[in-house]
Structure formats: structure tokens, C-alpha cells
Chain A
Amino acid sequence: MGGQSTLTKVIGAIITTLVVLFLVNLVTGGAKASTVGWILYLVGAVIVLVIYFFFANKPIWEVGTREVVMMAIGAVLYGIFSWATNVIQLPSVSFVSLRPAVAIPIFMGLAFGPVVGFFSGAVGNIIGDALTGWGVFPVWDLGNGLMGMIPGLILAWETQRERRRVTERVLVIVGAIMLLFVILTVLFPNVEHPWMEGMRAGQWTLGLLIITIVLVAVGWFFLRKSPDIAVSVIWGSLGVIVGMGFASLADIWVNGYSLATAIIGEFLPAAASDLVFAIILVPILYGAYEAARAQTGR
């Protein structure tokens, strides 16, 4: 990725998406996208451009034979592990399932770069859904792809010192985002779950608070003791928040959900469970991979 032509493509993609969303809005009688939907789209577009300007000229986007094979392996592993647990459904407004397998695309991103992470998440989600027989959900495929891509961006920083420094900042961002959701559930405790009779936003406060405290504490502890583990936990969490956040908020457009429905009905069940798996399983996988790599000399 690099050069003027790529920037043109990125801006072209953003403008094309804007036009498509406008047409979708027209076709659906203007009911799909609220003002919130448009604002979120603009925020997303700005994030894409910021990522482009920061990372465009880094070698992390190069794809050789190793990346091609690892993309395939990551996708198939994510697909099969997802298939194994897809039947365990979480209380949500769509097919949100319990997925320990989210550790796979995050780990693939961390170990082999953002392209491998993105492909593992996106194509793995397609394979898992196809094996289960659920059809295709493009927005969630992209969300799963982002979940693998974001952690891979850490490879743009080459030295341990740089990675540790940037991870400290990311920990602050992740902690702030999580705290924002905790505060939202405290401020609006009576927002009802769109489908689950009786379930309210306030019921998420304690769980989210525990996950936030554990995440920040684990991240902070390992930043001092073992930066590699800290990187995998913190960047993995950022991947979950961005990926699941993208997919859930995009459903404001796709399914016509309100912001509350998208957050309480999709984002919270998906992201909260995925964060638990990311915090625990990604460091274990990363540690095992480093040990195996040291043994084989690859």
C-alpha cells in the first residue's frame, strides 16, 4: 500500500460507499439511516483516512507466499473453531454466538500482519457461517476482518521500545472506550433490550466494569513484566472493539436498528464475550507460537 494511487482508491472507496448508502437510504424510504447513522459513517471515514496516512508506507501490507498460506490457514482455523461453537447463541438481536475462536484472527494479525489478520477474520467468518449453514453476512464478515486487521498494525512499529510506547497509548484509548460504555449504561440504565423482555442496559454495568478493570489491570501489569503479552491483550481488545463496533453500528444501516438496539442488542453481547476470549486466549496462543518458532528456527 503506498503512493498517490492508493490514496485515490481509499478516497474513491469512501465516496462510493457514501453514494451507495445514499441510494440504499433512498430505496428504503429513508427509514434505514438516522442522523446518528450518517455521523457514524463520517467518523468511520475519518478513521479510515487516519489509518491510511499513518500506515500507508509501512511494509506491513506486503503479501508474499508466507502471507498467502497463513491467510488460508487463519481463515480455515477461524472457520472450523467458529463452526464448533456457532450453535451456542448469546442473547442478541441477530446471530451473535459464543466465539472463543476470535482469538485466531487476532493472533494471526499479531503474528503475520494486518492483511493476514483481515483475511483470517473475514473469510474465516464466511467459512464458519457456511459450515453452519447460516448464509452470508457481509457486514459481520468485514467486522471480523477488522478484528484481525487492527492488531496487525502493531507490526508497523519495529522495535520493542516503540511498540511498548504506542501500546501504552492504545491501552488508554481502549480503557476510555470501555469506560464510556460503562458510563452510558449508568446514565441510561432503563434502555430496554430490543428483544429480550425485561433486559435493560443497567444489567451490563457490572459485567462491563469488571471486564474494563481486568483489561486495564492485565494490560498495565504486562506492559511492565512482559510487553509481548501486553501488546497481544491490548491490541487484541482494540481489534474486538473496532471490529464488533463496526459490524453492530453498520446494522443501523443494514437492519434499520436504532443506536440503542445496535449497542445493547449486538455490540455489547458480541464485544463483551469476545474480549474475555481475547484477553485469555490470545496471549496463550502467542506464547505457544513464539516457543514453537524458537524451536523450529522459522
Chain B
Amino acid sequence: MMPVRHLLVVSCALFSLGIFGVLTRRNAIAILLAIELILNAASLNFVLFSRLFGDPQAQAFALFIIALAACEATVGLAIVIGLYRTAKTVFTDQVNLLRG
């Protein structure tokens, strides 16, 4: 088996890329994608440690995460669609109605 460190780096890299995408992307859908990436990174982390400690419960948790991600993506997309209907755009830097 390959050293844990390498997989952790991958997971960390995915996570960071996801964070970076959330913070940086203008398109709302792209933000959602980045969030999926974060979720995937977390899920990978679970699988990794499950293999490491030999506990299959973590793998089950990874399945939960996948289901959860699907739901959350749905809701997120519904919000984006609602946003599009109202603001006629999906770019977050063009929507500042809640500005105080």
C-alpha cells in the first residue's frame, strides 16, 4: 500500500482547490462544483482512514456523504435557478441587492 501521506496530500489538495474555487469563482454553479469538490475531498479522507484503521464504518459514512452531496447539490441548484429567475444572471459579483 502506498504511504498515507500521499493520499492525505491528495485529499488536502482537493480540499484546498475546492476552497479556492468557492472563494474565487464568479459563476454560482462553479461555486457549487467547488463545494462538491470539498465534499469529495472529505469523503476521500474518510475512505482513506477507513482503509488505514480497517474500520468499514467510515466507508459507509462516505456513502452518506455522497447522498448528502446529491441533496445539497439539488437544493443549491434550486437556489441558483431561483436566483437566475430573479436576477437574470448567475454571476455572484453582479448580485448585491442585499448590500447594507
Bind each other: no
